[in-house]
Amino acid sequence: MSRVARMTAFLAVAAALAGCNSTASGPALEEAAQPVAQKQEGRIPDYCPRISLREGTAILRKKVGEDIDYIASIGDTSRSCRLIDGQLHISVGVAGRLTAGAAAKARTEPLPVRVAVVRGTDVLYSKLGTVGVPVKGGGGADSFTYVDDAIVIPEPPEKNIIIYAGFDEGAPAKK
């Protein structure tokens, strides 16, 4: 499947999960990805690495038996970069939705979100965080936003850095 076809399929799934509500995206997400200290210090660099979602990390499905507990999806990402004293400071924002299924019970679910910065095979930064999202018993959906503003790497001499963001539950359990 081509990259364009995969992206189109992903956007169709994200739109279907979003229902009638909108997610925190666009300027609001970009604003959330810019901590106050970084908005006023340093300078905007010529290069700010792009964000990519690895295959299999944009949607998280949980079941209870054969019934769906919830489906969480990432629908938007944003980043901002500032150069301060030769260091590239990056803030990454991730926005999405959690839709409760038939097996859902009311609670707050901690979703695992990983942000990693890589150059080729070298991992320059990796952090697993969580964002608590309300799960509504009996259905319904809620939006979430996760921001990682702790990324600091040396100014890259080449434009060969990629930021990955997505759900990360760790290695699958061995059977």
Q: How confident is the model at residue 38 (pLDDT cuts 50, 70, 90)?
A: very low
User: Cα–chain-centroid distance for residue 56?
Assistant: 12
**Cβ proximity of 53 and 163 under 8 Å:** no
Q: Judge whether 173 lies within some domain.
A: no
Half-sphere exposure of residue 175, counting CA atoms within 13 Å on the CB side? 0
Q: Judge whether 55 lies within some domain.
A: yes
Beta bridge partners of 43: 83
d(CA 175, CA 94): 32
What are the tokens at 30?
Answer: 């970009």
Q: Judge whether 89 lies within some domain.
A: yes
d(CA 103, CA 164): 31
Residue ranges with strand state E in 10-121: 50-52, 59-64, 67-84, 87-100, 107-119
Q: How confident is the model at residue 170 (pLDDT cuts 50, 70, 90)?
A: confident
Q: Judge whether 174 lies within some domain.
A: no
The single-letter DSSP state of residue 43 is B
Q: Judge whether 175 lies within some domain.
A: no
Higher pLDDT, 24 or 82: 82
Q: What is the pLDDT of residue 103?
A: 93
**Cβ proximity of 91 and 78 under 8 Å:** no
Q: Judge whether 24 lies within some domain.
A: yes
Domain of 54 in residue numbering reads as 3-167
Across 55-67, average pLDDT: 95
Q: Judge whether 30 lies within some domain.
A: yes
- Structurally, the chain folds into a number of domains equal to 1
d(CA 154, CA 84): 10
d(CA 58, CA 10): 8
- pLDDT tens figures, 91-127: 999 999 999 999 999 999 999 999 999 999 999 999 9
Q: How confident is the model at residue 152 (pLDDT cuts 50, 70, 90)?
A: very high
Q: Tell me how crowded residue 25 is: count the other CB atoms within 10 A of its CB.
A: 18
Q: How confident is the model at residue 22 (pLDDT cuts 50, 70, 90)?
A: very low
Q: What is the pLDDT of residue 18?
A: 36
CA-based Rg of the chain, rounded to a whole angstrom? 17
What are the tokens at 66?
Answer: 């054969």
Q: Judge whether 29 lies within some domain.
A: yes
